[in-house]
Structure 1
Amino acid sequence: MAVWFGPAADIPKECSFVGGEQFRLYAGLTAPPAQCDPCECQEATGQCSGVPGNITIGAGMCGAVGAPSLPFDGPGGWDGSCTDTSALPAGAQCPPGSGVPCAQSITFSALPPPVNEKCEVKPSDIIKAGGTLITEWETGALACRSSLDTSLCGAGDQLCVPKVLYPHRQCVWREGKHAKCPKPYDYEGPRIMYPFQPKESRECTECTCGAPQGGTCLATMRLFEDEVCSAEFHKRIVSSEVSVCDPIIPAGRAIGGKSVTDHVYIKGTCETGGGEPIGEAVEDDENAVTFCCRQSYIFDE
């Protein structure tokens, strides 16, 4: 064959020889790891419901030590709708006859935490495709079939080949990787060349999203003077993070009904994982070709 060797970027588009192209091969592989897009998570989702585990009316200001208290919880299985369970009439005293108003402060324990929290992976076409793969070769070889003529040599076991000018070389070839070349095709030793597509195992690990962290539930706690929850006198936001205490103004007032409404999930954050490059690209040894060449003719005689 007449074989052109040179920088891979300059490899000719076609053979100038009548026989046409036989091989287009390469050497000097550069194949960095896959370029993976960073993994991203969609916004966390979760569900909030329920009521404070304990509601307590205190016969003292918030934080008072030793002050009597009364439970003000809802009924068993309370869903937060209006209820007058544990209603306290105006002027109630703790203890009775002490002259100390029972209703001076009210404490709400934390709401139940969010449930069914999750984060889904944000879709990425590049991640699904396994990342962007870069494959470059240092050297290219374009091997062109050339004419062989048995009539000019006078012997049946000999072939005449045309003279090949630089930058082409006159070469013989053999499939596989070989360490020695036959004479007179041993000018520079064997050149082992490979198909452009290497043996490929580069890809990106699957993206993952950890469990949401820091998600919170909020709700609105409402207090009413009457038992049917029509005369609201106090409203406060309660959360699943901490218990809270509020003063009752004026002290000793009636506390008839209560409700918990407007549950809101405050999104947590999720830690991403995956999207890391793994695997490698190596020369395709199974389809390697070894060329053995003679020295090029620089000028035509």
Structure 2
Amino acid sequence: MTMWRWARREKRGMVLASGATAVVLGAWAGGCGTTDHWLCPYDPEPGIKDYPCLVSWDAVDGGDGADACGDAGADAGDACAEGGAGADFDSATVPGFDPNLRETCTGQCVPREPLGWSEPALVWIGPPDRAPDCPAAAPSVGYEGHADFTAAAPPSCPACQCDPPDASCELPAAWSAYASFPCDVPGAAETPFAAPEGWDGACTSASAIAAGQMCDGAPCAQSLEIPAPRVLPGSCVPRTAESPEGPEEPEGAGSFALFARACTGTAFAPCADPGMICTPAPPTGDAAPPERFLTCVYHEGEQDCPATYPDRHVFFAGAEDTRGCAPCGCGEPIGGSCSVLASAFSDGACSQFAVGVVVSSAAPLCTGIVPGTALGSKSASVVSLDPGACAPTGGEPTGSVALLGAATFCCRPEPIPDPVPA
């Protein structure tokens, strides 16, 4: 029966045989007190003291453990003395140990990760409400992410409207008398009958034309031209048309149907094949969750998978929802119009009526008067004003939902389960 003895030395292990290739049996994390034992195919670096290791003395000379300690040299003898005879036990009690020294991994040997990828980890994928804790073999959470995203309905954008512009009607001030009728006879003399600048339409005697005043041998006042009033556009105030139910509250970005948790453990012993690496094995039987753990390697971003880990899964750290509604605005006012009542009087106090017309902003107006009539004063007032309208802008949906923090997990194919006995 091959016997094993606990021993300690100044390095991480002990040479198996004097002058032979260094082969050391050790344990991860828990030391020799755990059941995860392994053989080191090299003599590790110096400087780490009192690292517990398990050494097969009988493999050296076929003797019992005590004789082997004696043959191993003074250093080994001292180390063996620390263990005591009561530390002997059968190699069969070491899980995963290969007596032929070809394989010492107590987890699973899987292909090494490609350059730039993480070491293999155990990854659970399933509904978020069923996520298990990391198993004992890989107790540390190395990553958590999400997949299979369904966006929520976008916010309901209200219709934009614009209040009428605060427009005004500018009264025409540059009136003129012509020595002809109509006003546009070529060569007819024009005599200004203008109101003061900034005129508000009140009675004014500015630019009066006396009765019988002559221009080039003809009465100066035979017709009166009044320019078209002008609509002074104002600004429109935007607003939203509220529905009877009120504005709809946003529902958030959405939800992920799948959750991923990657679990990492301590490093295990090397595998016999240098192209393989020892990693924790997924839990089986009653210890396994409803969705089993997969063995996967990890890379940030969206990547293609290597041949040794062909099953691709992309997960995300979360989602950012920038959806909203464009703010309401208003275009320039269009379609405004106005009209004014323009009156001329023969006296200077707007009491002796001479002529009165309604002038639209669409065009100037020329009206005939009795030739030689005095134009002593005038007045004007706004009759109608259509301020026009502004076309509403905005209110359309904006933004989008972006998935953040992509990460690619490439996994080993799931093993085909053994057939259930009939």
Identify the TM-score tier after normalising by the shorter chain. Answer: 0.5 to 0.7
Shift of 1:111: 3.9
Match for residue 225 of structure 2?
Answer: 107
Q: Give the one of 74, 78, 81 matched to 2:195.
A: 74
Find out whether 1:141 has 2:274 as its counterpart. no
Match for residue 236 of structure 1?
Answer: 357
Find out whether 1:61 has 2:178 as its counterpart. no
Cα distance in 2 between the residues matched to 1:158 and 1:101: 117
Q: Give the one of 237, 240, 264 matched to 1:120.
A: 237
Match for residue 311 of structure 2?
Answer: 189
Q: Higher helix fraction: Structure 1 or Structure 2?
A: 2
Could you list the per-position Cα deviations for residues 153-192 of structure 1 after superposition, in whole angstroms to 9, with x for gaps in the alignment?
Answer: xxxx7774446999x53125888758769x9xx7x72433
The higher relative CO (CA closer than 8 Å, separation ≥ 6) is in 1
Coordinate RMSD, CA, aligned = 5.2
Could you list the per-position Cα deviations for residues 182-204 of structure 1 after superposition, in whole angstroms to 9, with x for gaps in the alignment?
Answer: x9xx7x72433336x52344455
Match for residue 165 of structure 2?
Answer: 44
Does the CA-based 8 Å contact 2:124-2:131 persist in structure 1? Answer: no
Give me the TM-score of the superposition, normalised by structure 1: 0.59
Match for residue 7 of structure 1?
Answer: none
Match for residue 148 of structure 2?
Answer: 27
**Higher Rg of the two aligned structures:** 2
Does the CA-based 8 Å contact 1:224-1:234 persist in structure 2? Answer: yes
Does the CA-based 8 Å contact 2:253-2:320 persist in structure 1? Answer: no
* Structure 1 residue matching 2:311: 3-state secondary structure: coil
Shift of 1:82: 0.4
Q: Which aligned pairs between 1:177-256 and structure 2 lie closer than 5 A?
A: 189-194=311-316, 198-203=319-324, 205-213=326-334, 215-216=336-337, 218-239=339-360, 242-248=363-369, 250-256=370-376
* Structure 2 residue matching 1:82: 3-state secondary structure: coil
Relative to 1, partners in 2 of residues 1:180 and 1:113: Cα closer, same or farther, differing over 3 Å? closer
Identity %: 24
Does the CA-based 8 Å contact 1:218-1:266 persist in structure 2? Answer: no
Cα distance in 2 between the residues matched to 1:279 and 1:136: 14
Give me the TM-score of the superposition, normalised by structure 2: 0.45
The count of corresponding residues between Structure 1 and Structure 2 is 264
Unmatched 5+ stretches in structure 1: 5-10, 145-156
Does the CA-based 8 Å contact 2:253-2:321 persist in structure 1? Answer: no
